Homo-oligomer: A and B are copies of this chain.
Amino acid sequence: MSEASSERVTAAVLIIGDEILSGRTQDTNLRDIARYLAVHGVDLAEARTVSDVEAEIVAALNALRARYDYVITTGGIGPTHDDITADAVAVAFGVALEENPEILALMTAKWQGELTPARRRMARVPVGGSLVKNPVNGPPGFMIGNVFVLAGVPQIMRGMLEDVGWRLKGGAVTVSRTVRVDGSGEGVIAAPLEAVARAHPAMSLGSYPFFGPEGYGSNLVLRGRDPDELALVVDELIAALTAAGIARVVEVENA
């Protein structure tokens, strides 16, 4: 982990859930986490989706937490038998699970003492973990080492993320701008785009083609850490596209 804002800070997302791998549920957490991390200057470098099998979760988590500055998991922290994320995280870190008194108190206040065994499951946190607040519904998530364990329900996950950002070290905010080309395909855009990309290795230049009855073209997204260099590269790219005979080039608002 880095204290210096010039150093790249990385993260991985680990999505836990058979419902994603069966195609029953459309994941949106990856995109939301990616956007959240980008704002905090952290690069999401990899994502994995695994099933509700302890050995799979442990193996993926240990691979990812060794390699990246942070890992954010989603899913598997509910009250049912297939919610085994806390167990798997404890195994991965080689520690025990213990009932967290703060979560028990929260749940007691909320459910007026009706602490069923299923609900008590949700109070278990690996030894050494700290809580991640849940502003939405249900018990908190937790953090242990460089791993954040969040809910799978998107609305709850997004709420928990708000208690993640302040713990992320060293990131630098990334800025981005978009240049849209109308009426030209990637085949003609590629050469000028590549020339500009090669001249600015610190920048990320991506081409995202669109087509439909309304027309076709490509959105060229430029991303980097230095706003001044970014502005320069936008100008260079527009000039290069224009010089290549591509007429309909405009900068557009970033999404």
Contacts and interface: CB of A to CB of B under 8 A. Distances in A.
Given A38-B22, A80-B186, A211 B209 contact: no
Interface in A1-51: 15, 18-28, 30-38, 43-51
B209 A185 contact: no
A153 interface: yes
A46 B46 contact: no
A159 interface: no
Interface stretch (A125-133, A160-168, A191-199, A234-242): A191-199
Interface in A36-84: 36-38, 43-51, 56, 78-82
A146 to B, nearest CB: 18
Contacts of A33: 23
A209 B79 CA distance: 11
Interface stretch (A92-100, A112-120, A224-232): A112-120
A188 B82 contact: no
Given A35-B23, A213-B211, A117 B191 contact: yes
Contacts of A48: 46-49
Nearest to A46: B50
A170 interface: no
Contacts of A78: 186, 207, 209
Contacts of A121: 190
Contact of A26 (B31, B47, B49): B31
Nearest to A193: B80
A191 B46 contact: no
A245 interface: no
Nearest to A78: B186
A51, A137, A186, A198 — which one has the most chain B CB atoms within 10 A of its CB? A186
Interface of A: 15, 18-28, 30-38, 43-51, 56, 78-82, 111, 114, 116-119, 121, 137, 153, 185-191, 193-194, 197-198, 204-209, 211-213, 216, 221, 223, 255
14 contacts: A19-B206, A20-B47, A22-B38, A22-B206, A23-B35, A46-B51, A79-B186, A80-B189, A81-B198, A111-B187, A118-B190, A119-B187, A211-B211, A213-B216
